[in-house]
């Protein structure tokens, strides 16, 4: 049995017109001799009747609900989407069955709202595939061992598709979305961003971790572990999209298949920088700060410690709480609220001199302040004021000639 997993995102399913194009992709895959398992997101974005965010808005104070009950609500969008698609497939003469995540055998832990897939037991999918050409699976959701419905967090349908691709030993996972592939930057910010023909798992994983929301990093990790090739492509346009697979020599970070130092520019919004002053050079200051934040489940990122300062970022929505916890320790703190993290990502940058110099030059030319920077062997990040973020992304994209 040759299984192809397809995943259709919210924007690909929002109108009947668009769903006709989805049906065309499914039908073409059947024509190519595949047995198709298609994972669907909820239809449309906030405001659309059955989009996940619209459903959430039905309960303005979500804290009133248990996380478990909230998952029950949030899982409805994908289920609706799967049933509508099955009915439209039938009208187009394609016999299909639909399954919830739980029915499809996606078993998760009980971290409601952000559950982890622990195993996949696809017996029901196989049973339906024997009877039908297509099985439609509601994305973004699973079931605990005890049968409770869970959701998988943002980008969860990508993860569903990857987990099914791995479990069914699919020959490929096709992620259909509203752009024609993985690009050198978010096309909503950079209009001449280029579509990458091929990219390694590691490169796309880095891009995704640093904010490129075109695919969820967890999905890439699952596909990579199972060694199932992945493609990102458009529902609305023809074209091959971006092929994600191993590089020539086994996808070590140095064998970028794109002959570029930098693969792409990404951004993450809504972070705040906190600077804790420590003129007495007392290392207990850092210890106290991280301890109190951990105890209050506030996660920190972008950490720099030097003798007289402890610097890090937190998400904007928890910054006020973090600041007051630190002030309660009697420490002196200054802040840059409303920042964004822009990153240049590229497996090929390792050991190449001058990358940082180009980044600083690009941002300085545009009078963009660098509030902090850090690097790993595949990325360089700069923290900038959020109001300058888009210009920073464009400046870096241009400086590295990615367009
Ligand atoms: P879906 O509903 O199909 O899951 P998403 O909105 O989650 O779609 O992801 C697609 C979006 O990702 C695109 O519309 C694009 O704006 C954004 N995006 C961000 N970075 C990139 C990138 N490097 N390449 C392509 N798209 C990107
Ligand atoms: Mg998505």
Q: Flag whether pLDDT at 37 surpasses 70.
A: yes
Ligand 1, atom 2, lies closest to the CA of 9
Residue 179: which of 198, 193, 159, 165 has the closest Cα?
A: 193
Q: Which residues pair with 271 in a beta bridge?
A: 315, 339
Residue 164: count other Cβ atoms within 10 Å of its Cβ.
30
> Using a 6 Å cutoff on CB, does residue 212 contact ligand 1?
yes
Ligand nearest to the CA of 218: 2
Cα separation, 130 vs 128, whole angstroms: 5
pLDDT digits (tens, 9 = 90+) for 362-381: 999 999 999 999 988 889 99
Mean pLDDT score across all residues of the chain: 93
> Using a 6 Å cutoff on CB, does residue 199 contact ligand 1?
no
pLDDT digits (tens, 9 = 90+) for 268-299: 999 999 999 999 999 999 999 999 999 999 99
> Using a 6 Å cutoff on CB, does residue 241 contact ligand 1?
no
H-helix segments, 58-155: 67-74, 76-91, 123-131
Position 62 confidence tier, pLDDT thresholds 50, 70, 90: confident
Domains and CATH numbers, the chain: 3-178 (3.40.1160.10), 264-399 (3.30.2130.10)
Residue 106: which of 154, 160, 158, 67 has the closest Cα?
A: 160
**Residue 236's pLDDT is what?**
96
Q: Flag whether pLDDT at 29 surpasses 90.
A: yes
Q: Flag whether pLDDT at 251 surpasses 70.
A: no
Position 133 confidence tier, pLDDT thresholds 50, 70, 90: confident
Ligand nearest to the CA of 216: 2
Of all residues in the chain, the percent with pLDDT exceeding 70 is 97
Ligand 1 centroid vs 183 CA: distance in angstroms? 9
> How far is residue 20 CA from its own chain's centroid?
26
Cα separation, 134 vs 26, whole angstroms: 8
Cα separation, 202 vs 377, whole angstroms: 12
Q: Which residues pair with 231 in a beta bridge?
A: 174, 243
Ligand nearest to the CA of 211: 1
> Using a 6 Å cutoff on CB, does residue 177 contact ligand 1?
yes
Ligand 1 centroid vs 186 CA: distance in angstroms? 7
Can you list the pairs that 333-336 forms with residues at least 24 positions away whose Cβ atoms lie under 8 Å? 333/274, 333/275, 333/276, 333/277, 334/274, 334/275, 334/277, 335/272, 335/273, 335/274, 335/275, 336/272, 336/273, 336/275, 336/371, 336/383, 336/385
pLDDT digits (tens, 9 = 90+) for 157-174: 999 999 999 999 999 999
Pairing relationship of beta strands 242-245 and 198-200 according to DSSP bridges? parallel
Put the strands of the sheet holding 117-120 in their side by side order.
117-120, 106-108, 141-144, 149-151
Question: Residues within 5 Å of ion ligand 2 by Cβ?
Answer: 9, 155
* Ligand 1 atom closest to residue 45's alpha carbon, by position in its atom list: 2
Cα separation, 189 vs 253, whole angstroms: 27
**Residue 257's pLDDT is what?**
41
pTM: 0.92
**Residue 248's pLDDT is what?**
54
**Residue 260's pLDDT is what?**
66
């Amino acid at each position: 049995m040759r299984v192809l997993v397809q995943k259709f995102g919210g924007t690909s399913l929002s109108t009947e017109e668009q769903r006709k194009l989805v049906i065309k992709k499914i039908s073409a895959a059947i024509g190519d001799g595949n047995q198709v398992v298609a994972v669907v997101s909820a239809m449309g974005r906030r405001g659309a009747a059955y989009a996940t965010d619209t459903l959430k808005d039905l309960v303005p104070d979500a804290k009133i609900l248990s996380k478990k009950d909230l998952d029950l609500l949030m899982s409805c969008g994908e289920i609706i989407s799967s049933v509508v698609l099955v009915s439209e497939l039938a009208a187009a003469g394609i016999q299909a069955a639909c399954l919830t995540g739980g029915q499809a055998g996606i078993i998760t832990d009980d971290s409601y709202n952000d559950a982890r897939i622990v195993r996949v037991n696809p017996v029901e999918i196989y049973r339906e595939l024997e009877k039908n050409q297509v099985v439609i699976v509601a994305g973004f959701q699973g079931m605990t061992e005890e049968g409770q419905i869970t959701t998988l967090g943002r980008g969860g349908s990508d993860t569903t598709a990857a987990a099914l691709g791995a479990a069914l030993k699919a020959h490929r996972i096709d992620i259909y979305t509203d752009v024609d592939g993985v690009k050198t930057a978010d096309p909503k910010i950079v209009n001449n961003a280029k579509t990458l023909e091929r990219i390694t798992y590691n490169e796309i994983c880095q891009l995704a971790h640093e904010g490129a929301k075109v695919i969820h990093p967890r999905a890439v990790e699952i596909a990579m572990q199972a060694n199932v090739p992945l493609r990102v492509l458009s529902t609305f346009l023809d074209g091959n999209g971006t092929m994600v697979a191993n590089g020539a020599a086994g996808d070590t970070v140095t064998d970028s298949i794109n002959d570029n130092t930098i693969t792409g520019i990404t951004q993450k919004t809504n972070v705040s920088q906190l600077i804790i002053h420590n003129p007495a050079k007392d290392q207990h200051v850092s210890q106290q700060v991280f301890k109190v934040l951990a105890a209050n489940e506030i996660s920190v990122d972008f950490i720099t410690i030097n003798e007289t300062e402890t610097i890090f970022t937190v998400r904007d929505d928890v910054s006020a709480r973090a600041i007051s916890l630190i002030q309660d320790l009697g420490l002196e703190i200054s802040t840059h609220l409303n920042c964004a993290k822009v990153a240049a990502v590229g497996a090929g940058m390792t050991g190449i001199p001058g990358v940082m110099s180009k980044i600083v030059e690009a941002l300085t030319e545009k009078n963009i302040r660098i509030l902090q920077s850090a690097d790993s062997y595949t990325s360089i990040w700069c923290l900038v004021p959020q109001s300058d973020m888009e210009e920073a992304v464009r400046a870096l994209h241009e400086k590295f000639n990615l367009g």
